[in-house]
């Protein structure tokens, strides 16, 4: 965690206990590190896992978003990508809190808040660095990263569907 992705447990008793409901740039890495210590198991921090667990794992999260309008399929796919983790923080998990609670009704939801102006500035700086016009072409041949453009597109759609703040001015 925090630069090194948590490896999902193979223990079938290892299930999601905590759902972090804070967006990126609200201390999600710190929360994930704390949860790993407190719960004694691997935590799925969206950004870290998406970029470091490999091409297959990144593709599976894209498929979660693509299944978002088919509830049974969405729940099946969510269970697959969260299997073996005791907690989840950051995007993409924050986009599926309701569904994760349906899968893991005993899980606790932890919301993290940050000063809105400071969060907006930080989130936009990160977003602008990650989404230049050439990023799709640049990352396409790179395993794992090739999924970023599609994941980002779907994440922004989901953000709008949920009525949450969009990233960037005018979006």
pLDDT tens digits, one per residue of 102-143: 999 999 999 887 777 887 777 767 666 666 567 767 777 777
Mean pLDDT, range 147-170, rounded to an integer: 78
- Nearest of 74, 97, 102, 7 to residue 45 by alpha carbon: 7
Show the tokens assigned to 41: 């198991």
Question: Residue 129: its pLDDT value, please?
Answer: 64
pLDDT > 90 in the chain, percent: 42
Omega before 92 within 30 of 0, i.e. cis: yes
Q: pLDDT at residue 71 above 60?
A: yes
pTM over 0.85: no
pLDDT confidence band for 170 (50 / 70 / 90):
very low
Sketch out the chain's domains with CATH numbers: 18-161 (3.40.50.300)
Question: Residue 131: its pLDDT value, please?
Answer: 64
């Amino acid at each position: 965690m925090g630069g090194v992705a948590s490896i999902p447990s193979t223990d079938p008793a290892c299930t999601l206990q905590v759902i972090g409901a804070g967006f990126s740039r609200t201390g999600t890495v710190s929360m994930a590190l704390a949860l790993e210590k407190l719960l004694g198991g691997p935590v799925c921090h969206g950004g870290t896992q998406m970029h470091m667990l490999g091409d297959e794992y990144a593709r599976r999260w894209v498929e979660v978003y693509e299944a978002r309008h088919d509830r049974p399929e969405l729940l099946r796919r969510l269970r697959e990508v969260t299997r073996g983790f005791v907690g989840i923080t950051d995007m993409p998990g924050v986009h599926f809190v309701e569904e994760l609670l349906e899968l893991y009704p005993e899980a606790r939801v932890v919301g993290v808040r940050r000063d809105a102006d400071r969060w907006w500035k930080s989130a936009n700086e990160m977003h602008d660095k990650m989404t230049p016009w050439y990023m799709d072409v640049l990352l396409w041949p790179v395993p794992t990263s090739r999924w970023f453009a599609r994941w980002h597109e779907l994440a922004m759609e989901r953000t709008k569907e949920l009525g949450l703040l969009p990233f960037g001015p005018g979006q």
